[in-house]
Amino acid sequence: MGRKLKLNYGEAVISLPAAVIGEAMERAGKRDFRVLLMICSDDRLRADLDAGISLAAMKCGCSVEEFEQSVAFWRGCGLLDCGEEEREVKAKAETKDAILSSAATERMPSYTGLELDTIVRSNPAIVEVLNEAQRILGYMFKTGELNDIVAMSEYLGLTGEYILCAVRYGHERGIKKLSAIKSMVLRFMQEGITTEAALKEHIALLEKRYSFEGRLRKLFGLGERKLTAKEAQIAASWADDGISEELLTKAYEITVNNTGKPSMPYTAKIIASWKERGVKTVADIDALPKKQDSKGSSFDTDEFFELALKRSYEKLGDNK
Element spanning 291, H or E: strand 290-292
If 0-12 CB within 10 Å is exposed, 13-18 middle and 19+ buried, where does residue 88 land? exposed
pLDDT averaged over the chain?
A: 79
Cα dist from 63 to 36, 48, 122, 191, 199, whole Å? 15, 18, 12, 33, 31
Per-residue pLDDT at 10: 53
Q: What is the mean predicted confidence (pLDDT) over 178-185?
A: 93
Q: What is the mean predicted confidence (pLDDT) over 265-274?
A: 88
Q: String of b and e for 278-315 (b: at least 16 CB within 10 Å)?
A: ebeeeeebeebeeeeeeeeeeeeebeebbeebbeebee
Q: What is the mean predicted confidence (pLDDT) over 132-144?
A: 94
Per-residue pLDDT at 243: 84
Second-level CATH architecture of 113-194: Orthogonal Bundle (1.10)
pLDDT band at 207 (very low <50, low <70, confident <90, very high): confident
Q: Is the pLDDT confidence value at 280 over 50?
A: yes
Residue 60: name the closest of 118, 113, 146 by CA.
118
CA distance 16 to 127: 39
Neighbouring CB atoms inside 10 A of 161's CB total: 13
pLDDT tens, 221-257?
888 888 888 888 888 888 888 888 888 888 888 889 8
Q: Which of 35-39, 111-115, 256-260 has the lowest mean pLDDT?
A: 111-115
pLDDT tens, 38-74?
888 888 888 888 888 888 888 899 988 888 888 888 8
CA distance 290 to 281: 18
Integer-rounded Cα Rg, in Å, for the chain is: 31
Q: Is the pLDDT confidence value at 197 over 50?
A: yes
Per-residue pLDDT at 201: 93
Domain boundaries, the chain: 18-84, 113-194, 225-316
Per-residue pLDDT at 126: 92
Q: What is the mean predicted confidence (pLDDT) over 107-129?
A: 84
Per-residue pLDDT at 238: 87
pLDDT band at 123 (very low <50, low <70, confident <90, very high): confident
CA distance 236 to 164: 26
Regarding predicted confidence, which is higher, 140 or 96? 140
- How many C-alpha atoms does 244 have within 13 Å on its Cβ side? 11
Per-residue pLDDT at 220: 86
3-state secondary structure of 261: coil
Neighbouring CB atoms inside 10 A of 205's CB total: 13
Q: Is the pLDDT confidence value at 95 over 60?
A: no
Element spanning 298, H or E: strand 298-300
CA distance 196 to 189: 11
Per-residue pLDDT at 209: 84
